[in-house]
Structure 1
Amino acid sequence: MQLVRQKGNTAQYGHRSAVRPRGRYGVAVAALLVAALGTGCGAADRAAPAKTKAGEAGPGAAGALANSAEQLKAAQQARVAAAKKWGLLKTPLMAPAAPKTKPEITTREGFEVEDQDELPPVFTTVPTEDKVVFLTIDDGAEKDPEFVRMMQELKIPYTAFLSDYLVRDNYPYFKGMQDAGVTLNNHTLNHRYMPALSYEQQREEICGQQDTIQKQFGKRPTLFRPPYGNYNQDTLRAAKSCGIKAVPLWNAEAFVNRMDYREWDRDLHPGDIILTHFRGREDWKGTMPDMIRHVMKTVTDKGYAVARLEDYL
């Protein structure tokens, strides 16, 4: 009746989902510039261009296009400067625009429980042809202000999954993160092994964290990640009753000196979710900025950009 998915804190190898779209690569800066010039995507471009007597676009359109190009150029220069400041060997690639139609998310093959169709989907990869990956960070033990500054200056999106017993001593740290655009999601109150708990105990862990996040940060999460990646049918039933819509796991895990992979080919794939943790020197041989330098080298060397997970869900 209850099927336990035991993944551990380190990604294990497994078979790939039967459907994994391949195709279009991430958008290079030059391509973005061309697109901006062709479509006009700045605030100035949304204004109607001046018209001549012949009905053609006048100087206003040219000025708007030039302004858009200058904005893109300035943004890229800032990214290059930030990459140098934070010790990245390469400037992170820019993710494409968020998809107009979000992909359909279904449970990964082999990760189902009974009555799965009625429960939130469990997945490790988002179906997309974009050459993007998604960075997610769990628990909340380390509260490094340098990490927050680094991510803001590099403009690298990420999603947090928080456990209250680790974050309650410094809610303002995570509030600042939220104010910078990071979505704060549910990783339970106390990070317990969920399949060992009753349905009611699991519901207390999940709904209790829903209530805490709403109280402290003003927004009730829709995403939930079970501790250690372990769950059973009761976990998903409880999560659904607490307002959870989806359960993202991970296909790769990042550390300060390595990447672990779930798939047999030990590689990244379009739409893969990357897991890492709020950790520092007490747990790693390095800091969170060290971890970001390593993961971004891996991601960029493989031609991927980091995109915002919520843009695809």
Structure 2
Amino acid sequence: MAALLVAALGTGCGAGGSETPDKAAKAKAAGAAGEQAGAAGALGTYAEKLKALQQARIVAAKKWGLLKPPLVAPQAPKEKPEITTRDGFEVEGQDELPPVFTTVPTEEKVVFLTIDDGAEKDPEFLKMMQELKLPYTAFLSDYLVRDNYPYFKEMQAAGVTLNNHTLNHRYMPALSYEKQRQEICGQQDTIEKTFGKRPTLFRPPYGNYNEDTLRAAKSCGIKAVPLWNEEAFPNRMDWREWDKDLHPGDIILTHFRGKEDWKGSMTDMIRHVMKTVTDKGYAVARLEDYL
């Protein structure tokens, strides 16, 4: 604060000003002090929220059988990183199309949890994620979610963004441009009509796409195509990279699945993925805060 006051007192009002130097200095000093007080207040508020979140996660971790409470992600970046298409995912004219990527550029030890399709609608999963206060992003296929829209509305009300995974989860490269556009734009319209917000993120089924897929996605209002670097199950992690490890900004994929398909439930999957993430010193952040 002393440095701010010195700087203010050393600055006049300028040749065209009507204030005296003393008045200008006092006004600037008051302004600087006010800004610093506001910043201190904001930091205080963030520290209080951080403490409350940490305490809530300690309590919830014990309830849900996590050996350690999830780490808290740092504040979202003020300037979002520039997202570009990752090597190996290029198509002709890519600069004009939504970027395809598996990792978000960041130096922070954060990863992003994404969940696909919508087959399993486990109420215990919703409770667990709400109590742990863990962010995640959903990519929905309408043919799987239409029998229980309220489940996903509850998810949305808790702060989860609902994104596009096509109407019917078809293998996109086998379809014509028009068929792909029907799958993507149709799901855009359905999500907007049902949940009130048109998605900006799209994930092609199976992670497979071609140039027509990206052109169709762009025409439907899609801004980015996140894929994934790891896939989570109740009993293991599958790794895309050779080192079989997490990296800052990695996107983790999992699915709305249960014991009919897995050796465990969705809550089992969360326990396993969070053990992996936390043991490696990573926090789960909100993907939309970085895009």
- Shorter-chain TM band: 0.7 to 0.9
Q: CA deviation at 1:204?
A: 0.2
For the pair shown, the structure with the greater C-alpha radius of gyration is 2
Q: CA deviation at 1:64?
A: 9.4
Q: Could you say which residue in structure 2 is the equivalent of 1:301?
A: 279
Q: Could you say which residue in structure 1 is the equivalent of 2:82?
A: 104
Q: Could you say which residue in structure 1 is the equivalent of 2:174?
A: 196
Gaps of at least 5 residues in structure 1 are 1-54
Q: For 1:103 and 1:210, how far apart are their aligned partners in 2?
A: 25
Where relative contact order (Cα < 8 A, 6+ residues apart) is larger, the structure is 1
Q: Could you say which residue in structure 1 is the equivalent of 2:242?
A: 264
Q: Could you say which residue in structure 2 is the equivalent of 1:223?
A: 201
Residue 90 to residue 244, structure 1, CA distance change in 2 (3 Å): same
1:147 correspondence with 2:125: yes
1:133 correspondence with 2:111: yes
Q: For 2:289 and 2:49, how far apart are their aligned partners in 1?
A: 23
Give the secondary structure class of the aligned counterpart of 1:82: helix
Q: Could you say which residue in structure 2 is the equivalent of 1:91?
A: 69
**TM-score when normalising by structure 1:** 0.79
Q: Could you say which residue in structure 1 is the equivalent of 2:6?
A: none
Q: Which amino acid aligns with 1:142?
A: E
Q: For 2:189 and 2:48, how far apart are their aligned partners in 1?
A: 45
Q: Which amino acid aligns with 2:264?
A: G
Gaps of at least 5 residues in structure 2 are 1-32
Q: CA deviation at 1:68?
A: 6.6
Q: CA deviation at 1:118?
A: 0.9
Give the count of matched residue pairs: 260
Q: Could you say which residue in structure 2 is the equivalent of 1:252?
A: 230
- Deviations along 1:171-230, whole A, 9 cap, x unmatched? 010011001000000000000000000000000000000000000000000000000000
Alpha-carbon RMSD across the aligned residues, in angstroms, is 2.3
1:185 correspondence with 2:163: yes
- 2:54–2:72: 8 Å Cα contact kept in structure 1? no
Q: Which amino acid aligns with 1:90?
A: K
- Deviations along 1:240-294, whole A, 9 cap, x unmatched? 0000000000000000000001001011100000000000000001000000000
- Deviations along 1:133-163, whole A, 9 cap, x unmatched? 0000000000001000100000100000000
Q: CA deviation at 1:72?
A: 4.0
Q: Which amino acid aligns with 2:290?
A: Y
Q: For 2:49 and 2:104, how far apart are their aligned partners in 1?
A: 30
